[in-house]
Protein backbone atom coordinates (compact mmCIF):
# COMPACT_ATOMS: atom_id res chain seq x y z
CA UNK A 1 0.00 0.00 0.00
CA UNK A 2 1.13 3.57 -0.63
CA UNK A 3 2.43 5.58 2.31
CA UNK A 4 -0.22 6.53 4.83
CA UNK A 5 -2.06 9.69 3.82
CA UNK A 6 -1.67 12.96 5.63
CA UNK A 7 -4.85 13.48 7.59
CA UNK A 8 -5.38 17.15 6.89
CA UNK A 9 -4.73 19.23 3.81
CA UNK A 10 -5.19 22.94 3.80
CA UNK A 11 -6.74 25.09 1.15
CA UNK A 12 -4.51 27.92 -0.03
CA UNK A 13 -3.23 30.05 2.86
CA UNK A 14 -4.68 33.16 1.22
CA UNK A 15 -8.09 31.94 2.37
CA UNK A 16 -8.64 32.40 6.11
CA UNK A 17 -9.75 29.23 7.90
CA UNK A 18 -12.83 30.89 9.30
CA UNK A 19 -16.35 30.64 8.03
CA UNK A 20 -15.56 27.50 6.07
CA UNK A 21 -18.55 26.67 3.92
CA UNK A 22 -17.31 23.93 1.61
CA UNK A 23 -15.77 20.66 2.72
CA UNK A 24 -13.64 18.79 0.20
CA UNK A 25 -13.11 15.17 1.17
CA UNK A 26 -11.29 12.44 -0.67
CA UNK A 27 -10.72 8.76 -0.13
CA UNK A 28 -6.94 8.81 -0.30
CA UNK A 29 -3.88 11.00 -0.51
CA UNK A 30 -3.62 9.76 -4.09
CA UNK A 31 -6.89 11.59 -4.92
CA UNK A 32 -5.35 14.97 -4.14
CA UNK A 33 -3.81 15.19 -7.60
CA UNK A 34 -7.38 15.44 -8.89
CA UNK A 35 -9.12 17.09 -5.96
CA UNK A 36 -6.73 20.01 -5.60
CA UNK A 37 -8.42 21.42 -8.69
CA UNK A 38 -11.61 21.81 -6.66
CA UNK A 39 -9.71 23.56 -3.87
CA UNK A 40 -7.87 25.79 -6.37
CA UNK A 41 -11.15 26.81 -7.99
CA UNK A 42 -12.77 27.65 -4.66
CA UNK A 43 -9.70 29.61 -3.67
CA UNK A 44 -9.89 31.61 -6.89
CA UNK A 45 -13.48 32.45 -6.01
CA UNK A 46 -12.41 33.25 -2.43
CA UNK A 47 -14.77 30.68 -0.99
CA UNK A 48 -13.42 29.31 2.31
CA UNK A 49 -12.99 25.54 2.17
CA UNK A 50 -11.31 22.73 4.04
CA UNK A 51 -9.77 19.51 2.77
CA UNK A 52 -9.71 16.11 4.48
CA UNK A 53 -8.82 12.52 3.69
CA UNK A 54 -11.84 10.45 4.66
CA UNK A 55 -12.00 6.89 3.39
CA UNK A 56 -15.27 4.97 3.31
CA UNK A 57 -13.34 1.72 3.65
CA UNK A 58 -10.16 2.52 5.58
CA UNK A 59 -11.50 5.15 8.01
CA UNK A 60 -15.25 4.51 8.29
CA UNK A 61 -15.53 6.08 11.75
CA UNK A 62 -13.85 9.27 10.53
CA UNK A 63 -16.31 9.33 7.65
CA UNK A 64 -19.30 9.03 9.97
CA UNK A 65 -18.07 11.80 12.29
CA UNK A 66 -17.26 14.11 9.40
CA UNK A 67 -20.62 13.66 7.72
CA UNK A 68 -22.68 13.89 10.90
CA UNK A 69 -20.87 17.02 12.12
CA UNK A 70 -20.64 18.82 8.76
CA UNK A 71 -23.81 20.89 8.97
CA UNK A 72 -23.32 21.77 12.63
CA UNK A 73 -19.85 23.08 11.83
CA UNK A 74 -21.33 25.49 9.30
CA UNK A 75 -20.55 23.71 6.05
CA UNK A 76 -23.06 24.30 3.27
CA UNK A 77 -21.80 21.91 0.61
CA UNK A 78 -19.59 18.82 0.59
CA UNK A 79 -17.48 17.80 -2.40
CA UNK A 80 -16.39 14.17 -2.21
CA UNK A 81 -13.88 12.60 -4.57
CA UNK A 82 -13.07 8.91 -4.69
CA UNK A 83 -11.83 6.28 -7.07
CA UNK A 84 -12.50 2.61 -7.72
CA UNK A 85 -15.15 1.22 -5.37
CA UNK A 86 -16.06 4.84 -4.69
CA UNK A 87 -18.51 4.68 -1.80
CA UNK A 88 -17.39 7.91 -0.12
CA UNK A 89 -19.79 10.41 -1.74
CA UNK A 90 -22.82 8.17 -1.23
CA UNK A 91 -21.96 7.38 2.38
CA UNK A 92 -21.41 11.06 3.16
CA UNK A 93 -24.75 11.86 1.52
CA UNK A 94 -26.42 9.18 3.62
CA UNK A 95 -25.30 10.91 6.82
CA UNK A 96 -25.75 14.62 6.07
CA UNK A 97 -28.63 16.67 4.68
CA UNK A 98 -26.14 18.97 2.90
CA UNK A 99 -25.82 18.85 -0.88
CA UNK A 100 -23.05 16.42 -1.84
CA UNK A 101 -21.20 16.57 -5.14
CA UNK A 102 -19.28 13.48 -6.14
CA UNK A 103 -16.11 13.52 -8.22
CA UNK A 104 -15.11 10.21 -9.82
CA UNK A 105 -11.32 9.97 -9.62
CA UNK A 106 -9.65 8.40 -12.65
CA UNK A 107 -8.57 4.94 -11.52
CA UNK A 108 -5.61 3.12 -13.04
CA UNK A 109 -7.44 -0.14 -13.67
CA UNK A 110 -10.61 1.13 -15.32
CA UNK A 111 -9.86 4.79 -16.15
CA UNK A 112 -12.48 6.05 -13.70
CA UNK A 113 -15.46 4.23 -15.20
CA UNK A 114 -15.64 2.19 -11.98
CA UNK A 115 -15.56 5.40 -9.91
CA UNK A 116 -18.20 7.06 -12.08
CA UNK A 117 -20.63 4.16 -11.96
CA UNK A 118 -20.11 3.68 -8.22
CA UNK A 119 -20.92 7.33 -7.53
CA UNK A 120 -23.67 7.98 -10.05
CA UNK A 121 -25.91 4.98 -9.33
CA UNK A 122 -27.41 6.14 -6.07
CA UNK A 123 -30.75 4.69 -5.01
CA UNK A 124 -33.71 7.07 -5.06
CA UNK A 125 -33.85 9.03 -1.84
CA UNK A 126 -30.16 9.77 -1.26
CA UNK A 127 -28.84 12.02 -4.03
CA UNK A 128 -25.24 12.66 -5.01
CA UNK A 129 -24.71 15.21 -7.76
CA UNK A 130 -22.19 13.38 -9.90
CA UNK A 131 -19.62 15.22 -11.98
CA UNK A 132 -17.28 14.19 -14.79
CA UNK A 133 -14.29 11.92 -14.22
CA UNK A 134 -11.11 13.63 -13.10
CA UNK A 135 -9.97 17.25 -13.28
CA UNK A 136 -13.04 18.55 -15.13
CA UNK A 137 -15.28 17.02 -12.48
CA UNK A 138 -13.26 18.50 -9.64
CA UNK A 139 -13.37 21.99 -11.14
CA UNK A 140 -17.07 21.73 -11.94
CA UNK A 141 -17.89 20.43 -8.46
CA UNK A 142 -16.34 23.62 -7.08
CA UNK A 143 -18.25 25.75 -9.58
CA UNK A 144 -21.50 23.99 -8.69
CA UNK A 145 -20.81 24.51 -5.00
CA UNK A 146 -20.21 28.18 -5.79
CA UNK A 147 -23.48 28.35 -7.73
CA UNK A 148 -25.37 26.90 -4.76
CA UNK A 149 -23.78 29.39 -2.38
CA UNK A 150 -24.33 32.24 -4.85
CA UNK A 151 -28.09 31.92 -4.46
CA UNK A 152 -27.79 33.46 -1.00
CA UNK A 153 -24.43 35.27 -1.15
CA UNK A 154 -23.99 38.28 -3.43
CA UNK A 155 -20.20 38.34 -3.14
CA UNK A 156 -19.94 34.75 -4.33
CA UNK A 157 -22.46 35.45 -7.10
CA UNK A 158 -20.31 38.37 -8.29
CA UNK A 159 -17.14 36.27 -8.10
CA UNK A 160 -18.76 33.52 -10.14
CA UNK A 161 -19.98 36.00 -12.77
CA UNK A 162 -16.46 37.43 -12.99
CA UNK A 163 -14.92 33.96 -13.29
CA UNK A 164 -17.24 33.07 -16.16
CA UNK A 165 -16.71 36.38 -17.96
CA UNK A 166 -12.94 35.85 -17.73
CA UNK A 167 -13.30 32.36 -19.15
CA UNK A 168 -15.41 33.67 -22.05
CA UNK A 169 -12.87 36.41 -22.77
CA UNK A 170 -10.06 33.84 -22.86
CA UNK A 171 -11.56 31.90 -25.78
CA UNK A 172 -9.90 32.90 -29.07
CA UNK A 173 -11.97 33.58 -32.19
CA UNK A 174 -9.86 31.37 -34.41
CA UNK A 175 -7.71 28.32 -33.78
CA UNK A 176 -3.95 28.58 -34.32
CA UNK A 177 -1.52 25.96 -35.55
CA UNK A 178 0.43 24.45 -32.69
CA UNK A 179 4.18 24.07 -33.28
Binding footprint of ligand RP5 on the chain (CB under 6 A)? 2, 27-28, 30-31, 55, 57, 82-84, 105
Measured from the CB atom, is 45 or 141 closer to ligand RP5? 141
Burial classification of residue 132, based on how many CB atoms lie within 10 Å of its CB (0-12 exposed, 13-18 middle, 19 or more buried): middle
Q: Which is nearer to ligand RP5, 96 or 115 (CB)?
A: 115
Cα–Cα distance for residue pair 2/96, rounded to 1 Å: 30
List, edge to edge, every strand of the sheet that includes 49-53: 8-9, 49-53, 22-26, 77-83, 100-105, 129-130
Measured from the CB of residue 12, what is the shortest distance to ligand RP5 in angstroms? 22
Number of other residues whose CB lies within 10 A of the CB of residue 26? 29
For ligand RP5, the closer CB: 30 or 44: 30
Q: Least CB distance from residue 6 to ligand RP5, whole Å?
A: 12
Of 123, 69, 126, 71, which is closest to residue 93 (Cα–Cα)?
126
Least distance to ligand RP5 from the beta carbon of 2, Å? 5
Report in angstroms how near the CB of residue 11 gets to ligand RP5 at its nearest. 19
Nearer to ligand RP5, 84 or 129 (CB): 84
- Count the neighbouring beta carbons within 10 Å of the beta carbon of residue 9: 17
Amino acid sequence: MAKMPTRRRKCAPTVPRVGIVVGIVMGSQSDWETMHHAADTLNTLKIPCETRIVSAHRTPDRLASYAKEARGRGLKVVIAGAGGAAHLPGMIAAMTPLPVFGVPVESKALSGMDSLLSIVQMPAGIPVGTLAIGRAGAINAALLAAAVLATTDEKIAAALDKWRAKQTASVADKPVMRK
